[in-house]
Every structure is written in structure tokens, then in C-alpha cells.
């Protein structure tokens, strides 16, 4: 099963027949593995990584660190759920360190992200504080290099 999942993680467009050729698992078995993985939510989504800057649609991304007060019997889960239900929150993670949650936020402008943080996120009852880091440039996302070439750009060293 892991071979099939690894293949799909690398390229979600692969057909069961292609995966069968790559792994040696019969195509019918690959289809069944995929169907089961979709049903039990092992496979959550098929995703395309798009370089929106190259497509002409600029977006503003920010990583927001959030300090929260955990709630009795549910810890961080209840506040994390409130946050991940906002459409601006692309990803929400429980993290170690000074802050408890890391929230990846997307907006059309810096002002839009700032309004989300100041008017929706920070006022939540369990939120003690936030720190916003605006993403200035993306080099690599989901394993894909967005800028430059994959080759080395180091200058040759001569003795």
C-alpha cells in the first residue's frame, strides 16, 4: 500500500496502470488500494501545486504564530478547530516552542491578512497573542522548486 501512496504523492495524475508498472502490483489491486485509501481518508485530496506569481495572480502569504490558552478536556483542539474553519487559514499546526499554533494564512493583500489577524484571529477568547511573519518569496513548496533551476549555482573553486 505504501508504494502506491508514495507514487501518488509524487504525481497524483498517475493511472493505476502506471502505478502497477512502477510497483509490480496488479492494476486491479492498485485500484482497490486507492479506493480504500480514499474511503478511510488516508488519501485526503489530490493536489496541484501552482506558482501563482507566474500565473499572474499575486497572493500574500503569512505564517502566524498563535499563543493560546488550552481548554479543559480538549486542550488545543477546540481553538484549533475554530481557527481552521476560517477560509483564510490554509494550514493550522500544533507546534512546540514559544507559540502553540502555527497558522498559514493567505490573502490578496497585506491589509487583508492584517485585518484577518486583528479582527478575526486575535479577538478569539483563547488567543493570548499572535506574531505575523509575511512570506516575502517562495523558493520551494510541497517539494517543488518554484524559482530558479534545480542545478547548483555555486561558483567553481580553483586552487
Is there a domain that residue 10 lies in? Answer: yes
Report d(CA 24, CA 143) in Å as an integer. Answer: 25
By C-alpha distance, which of 137, 38, 29, 122 is closest to 79?
Answer: 122
Q: How confident is the model at residue 157 (pLDDT cuts 50, 70, 90)?
A: low
Model confidence at 31: pLDDT above 70:
yes
Select, from the ranges 20-29, 41-50, 134-143, the one with the highest average predicted confidence (pLDDT).
20-29
| Residue 117 DSSP SS3 | helix
**Domain of 18, in residue numbers:** 2-39
The number of distinct structural domains making up the chain is 2
Is there a domain that residue 80 lies in? Answer: yes
**The overall pTM is greater than 0.85:** no
Angle at CA of residue 101, ends 99 and 107, nearest 5°: 115
Is there a domain that residue 49 lies in? Answer: no
Is there a domain that residue 53 lies in? Answer: no
Report d(CA 131, CA 68) in Å as an integer. Answer: 12
Is there a domain that residue 146 lies in? Answer: no
Same domain, 122 and 67: yes
Residue ranges of the alpha helices (H) in 85-129?
A: 110-115
pLDDT one-digit tens code per residue, 59-111: 999 999 999 999 899 899 999 999 999 999 999 999 999 999 999 999 999 99
Domain of 93, CATH number, reads 3.30.70.920
Amino acid at each position: 500500500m505504501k508504494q502506491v501512496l508514495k507514487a501518488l504523492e509524487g504525481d497524483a495524475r498517475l493511472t493505476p496502470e502506471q502505478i502497477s508498472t512502477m510497483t509490480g502490483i496488479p492494476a486491479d489491486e492498485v485500484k482497490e488500494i486507492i479506493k480504500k485509501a480514499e474511503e478511510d481518508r488516508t488519501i485526503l485530496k489530490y493536489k496541484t501545486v501552482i506558482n501563482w506569481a507566474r500565473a499572474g495572480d499575486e497572493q500574500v502569504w503569512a505564517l502566524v504564530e498563535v499563543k493560546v490558552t488550552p481548554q479543559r478536556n480538549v486542550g488545543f483542539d477546540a481553538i484549533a478547530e475554530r481557527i481552521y474553519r476560517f477560509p483564510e487559514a490554509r494550514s493550522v499546526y500544533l507546534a512546540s516552542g514559544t507559540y502553540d499554533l502555527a497558522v498559514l494564512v493567505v490573502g490578496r493583500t497585506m491589509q487583508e491578512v492584517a485585518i484577518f489577524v486583528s479582527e478575526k484571529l486575535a479577538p478569539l477568547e483563547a488567543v493570548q497573542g499572535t506574531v505575523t511573519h509575511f512570506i516575502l518569496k517562495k523558493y520551494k513548496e510541497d517539494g517543488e522548486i518554484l524559482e530558479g533551476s534545480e542545478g547548483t549555482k555555486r561558483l567553481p573553486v580553483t586552487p
